[in-house]
A and B are shown apart, each in its own frame.
Chain A
Amino acid sequence: MSHATMDEFATRALPDAAELTAAPAPGYWKSVGQRLSRDPVTIFVTLVLLCILFITLGAPLVATSDPYTGSVLMRLKPIGTPGHWLGTDETGRDLWTRLCYGGRLSLLAAVLPVSISLVVGGFLGIVAGYTGGIVGTLIMRTMDVFYAFPSILLAIAICGMLGNGLTNSILALAVVFIPPMVRVSETVTTQARHLDFVEAARASGTTTMQIIRYHVLANVLGPIMVYATSLISVSIILSAGLSFLGLGVTPPQAEWGLMLNSLRQAIYVQPYVAALPGLMIFITSMCFNLMSDGFRSAMDVRLSK
């Protein structure tokens, strides 16, 4: 499953201990920008993502009709019908319009869980890594229990019990993403805490809060931000998957996973139209994946030549 890649991303996001620095040297971000500007794939996928963002946020501008009004006479028209260039769905609503509006909820349901887990998981990880001892063990062992569930199973179980709805699907996914986020930030924090300059700072009387703020955060933010971008590609697939099962967004709202599910019944009538919402999920997930790959290699000091 795509969620399986969460662990793969988690290991790739971790830097070597030797790579951690007190703070990025001046000009670091400039050199990252330079490397990005020489990477055509990353530029291309970022542009595609901006386009997707434009058609979803600017849906009222680009959509050709209303997303909720259908016509019984215009049900399940093929691609290229005059007035409905991507065809219509099972209640005669314009598919292009639905795809534009549907992206709003799909993106929201994917980005929000990652943001929540970034804040909560990052915080818990720093606490566990910095304090160590009983608190650290308690946090990490609790996370181990959640790690014992295949991620999609956990998401479906939580969402299934809470009942369907956008909020519940966001909550369920946030719970699923917190444990790997805690692991990434705990590992980096533990590494950073034992670095010589952090020991030196502590010896010279710097307070815990200051050490965390200036040294730990500076090191943790990079890896967990990169990890979060790669998680968004997983999150899009999972959140649309929950809606696909009927556990996420509720009809008649437009959302790619839900649209894919309702059009699936019509696969023998309009095969190509039925596959379109899934194509949007695929393209968006792929672009986030490639973008995070690009950012990672641009931010990796060892690869820069």
Chain B
Amino acid sequence: MLVFAIRRLLQAIPILLGVSLVVFGLVHIVPGNPIDMLMPPEASPEVIAQMKAAFGFDKPLYVQYLLWLLRALHGDFGVSVFNASPVWGQLITALGNTFILAVFAAMLGFSMGILCGMIAALYHGRWPDKLFSAIATTGVSLPHYWCAIVLVLAFAVLNDYLPAQGMGDDSLPLYDRLQYLVLPVVTLSLIPMGVLGRLVRATVLEIIGQDFVGALAAKGLTRWPVIRHICKNAAPPVLALMGLQFGYLLGGSILVETVFNWPGSGNLLNLAIFRRDIPVLQATILVLATFFVVLNLLVDIAQAAIDPRMRR
């Protein structure tokens, strides 16, 4: 088990290096120096040269990459080109806000998905199954940014039940601040619910069809112990998907954050793109992608811990 964990850990290193190369390279797929694009056309050559030196854009590309990577490993992502504040501080606040959304959305989406998937599989072919399959298909084809708008429409515009913008003031009592979470969390939870529900349904159906389930029932086990055995066998693939989905919630909430003006990492990324704020942009993408890789790593190790067959 330990050997597997170490080997898997070592495999993640080249991936992370590749990720850092892609993130760094992204900025340079457009020809021209990032500073030239930022400066007004009337800026004097000396000022431009000064700016380039200050942000390190005057060195050869590979030196820039190595310096950037070294600093990034120390948690130093430089300062924002837009407002000269340290990138790390902005990023931590934004990531924290996104994390709040992702955790609540994951709890809601995963529990609903597993519950619905289980019910659908146990009532295979009957109306709960058909109802749930319809909901799940809707869930995966829903443009979530549109769904966000529709929810705002229903609960904030036509009726004044819930707040739809931002995450509330720090001074507000906890109950009021929780209200700001409702709409974005519900929106974000729909897709994990649909995707996970479909997988749970398929996995459980496959396990029910296996001989050992019949044998358990023949041995005289009642309904609930049999379900417990089914759950144990269905756990590894479901766990893997949950890890992936949580990663998508962290890294893919940009559209929903834009609709709700939620000050998270997606919003930060969006602002960085429009301000062409390269240090912020690189740092956000790098950190989100790293999270995703680490999450996958943890899922693999957890899977291997549950099911020894996974330790290839």
Chain A residues with a Cβ under 8 A of chain B: 1-5, 7-8, 141-142, 144-146, 148-153, 156-158, 160-163, 233, 236-237, 240-241, 244-247, 260, 264, 267-268, 271, 274-275, 278-279, 281-282, 285-286, 288-290, 293
Contacts and interface: CB of A to CB of B under 8 A. Distances in A.
A245 B191 contact: no
A2 B140 contact: yes
A275 B146 contact: yes
Interface core residue of B270, B273, B288 (most chain A CB under 10 Å)? B273
B198 A8 contact: yes
Nearest to B278: A161
Interface string B243-267: 0110111111011001100000000
B132 interface: no
Contacts of B241: 8
B254 A286 contact: no
Interface residues of B, number: 56
A1 B149 contact: no
Contact of B19 (A149, A156, A158, A289): A149
A158 B26 contact: yes
Interface stretch (B1-9, B65-73, B150-158, B177-185): B150-158
Nearest to B240: A7
23 contacts: A1-B249, A2-B144, A3-B248, A4-B195, A4-B244, A4-B245, A8-B198, A148-B18, A148-B19, A153-B252, A157-B26, A162-B30, A245-B254, A245-B258, A260-B145, A260-B146, A267-B157, A275-B146, A275-B150, A278-B145, A281-B143, A282-B143, A289-B140
A interface, over-half SS: helix
A264 B293 CA distance: 35
Nearest to B21: A145
Contact of A150 (B27, B158, B255, B288): B288
Interface of B: 14-16, 18-19, 21-23, 26-27, 29-30, 137-138, 140-146, 149-150, 152-153, 157-158, 191-192, 195, 198-199, 241, 244-245, 247-252, 254-255, 258-259, 269-270, 273-274, 281, 285, 288-289, 292-293, 296
Nearest to B269: A156
Contact of A153 (B145, B198, B254, B258): B254
A259 to B, nearest CB: 11
A245 B270 contact: yes
Contact of A161 (B29, B149, B150): B29
Contact of B143 (A145, A148, A240, A264): A240
Nearest to A156: B254
A5 B197 CA distance: 12
Given A149-B285, A245-B258, 16 more contacts: A3-B252, A8-B140, A144-B18, A148-B292, A148-B293, A149-B19, A150-B251, A151-B252, A153-B254, A158-B29, A161-B281, A275-B146, A275-B149, A282-B143, A290-B137, A293-B137
A4 B146 contact: no
B18 A145 contact: yes
A278 B153 CA distance: 13
Contact of A8 (B199, B251, B254): B199
Contacts of A267: 149, 152-153, 157
B255 A241 contact: yes
Contacts of A162: 29-30
Contacts of B285: 149, 153, 157
Contacts of B198: 8
A113 B146 CA distance: 22
Contacts of B251: 149-150, 152-153
Contact of A152 (B27, B153, B192, B254): B254
